[in-house]
Amino acid sequence: MDVSIFHVLGPVMIGPSSSHTAGAAKLARTARAIAQKPFHHVSFGLHGSFAKTYKGHGTDKALVAGALDISEKDERLTDSFELAKKAGLDYDFYETDLGDVHENSVKFTFAFEDGTIMEVVGSSVGGGEIVIRKINDFAINLSATLPSIIIKQYDTKGVLSDITRVFAKHDINIATMSVSRTTKGEKALCIIESDSPISDAVGDQLREVKNVIDVMILNLISEEDEDV
């Protein structure tokens, strides 16, 4: 197993805990990016250790900060409750059992202006690192350590070939690709991680591919993050 300096020294962050604050903020910021649309309310369903210690470790403030797109390195993290009030963002916390997941896990429920919701489940797995486990009914495994794209599609033959051709056209190397579906022949999620940022032009072309329903681009890794 390769061990990076990040694992030895830990992340640059506003304390006190890499899992309960830095990881929580990054997790919420990633979930926000997945939500895509503006939301007026977010519920945080706290599982395991998060449910028991979230106030004392500042997990609650970190989660709200991430939902506001505030980085774990930003000193404003500790003022997230006040900033949420100014931004008109409502939120609540509750304890829940998410089953067989990491003890530092959260179920995010985003409420949109059009009356719809989106659910995202993720875990803070230590050292400021995270894993997204679920988007609505689709089980996934996304670490958000590389530029990523999430493609909602119909589960039909040929669509994956059409998707990869768009990446080849733009000279983008695919690092990993996985597909999750709830029922054969219905809808599926294709998650692709790449070695370079994914442009809006790629997203636009993917949306034109037959049987592609929606596209989410997650370029969450900044140059500062890469230098750590």
User: What class has domain 5-136?
Assistant: alpha beta
Output the pTM of the full model. Answer: 0.84
pLDDT score, position 225: 46
207 membership: H or E segment, kind and range: helix 200-207
Other beta carbons less than 10 A from residue 183's beta carbon:
9
pLDDT digits (tens, 9 = 90+) for 46-99: 999 999 988 877 899 999 999 999 988 888 999 999 999 999 999 999 999 999
- Burial code (b: 16+ CB inside 10 Å, e: under 16) for 41-62 equals ebbbbbbbbbbeebeebbbbbb
Per cent of the chain over pLDDT 90 is 75
Read off the pLDDT of each residue in 26-51 and give the average, rounded to a whole number: 95
Q: How confident is the model at residue 13 (pLDDT cuts 50, 70, 90)?
A: very low
- DSSP letters, 19-53, are IIIIHHHHHHHHHHHHH-S-EEEEEEEEEHHHHHH
Read off the pLDDT of each residue in 190-211 and give the average, rounded to a whole number: 95
pLDDT digits (tens, 9 = 90+) for 108-142: 999 999 999 999 999 999 888 899 999 999 999 99
Q: Rounded distance, CA 175 to CA 50, Å?
A: 32
- List residues bridging with 101 in a β-sheet: none
Peptide bond into 16 cis (omega under 30): yes
Q: Rounded distance, CA 125 to CA 159, Å?
A: 33
Asked if residue 65 lies in contact with residue 75, where contact means CB atoms within 8 angstroms, the answer is: no
Q: Rounded distance, CA 84 to CA 185, Å?
A: 41
Structural domain spans, the chain: 5-136, 148-225
User: What class has domain 148-225?
Assistant: alpha beta
Chain centroid offset of residue 183 CA = 23
Read off the pLDDT of each residue in 162-183 and give the average, rounded to a whole number: 94
* Average per-residue pLDDT for the chain: 88
For 188, what's the count of Cα atoms within 13 Å in the CB-facing half-sphere?
A: 18
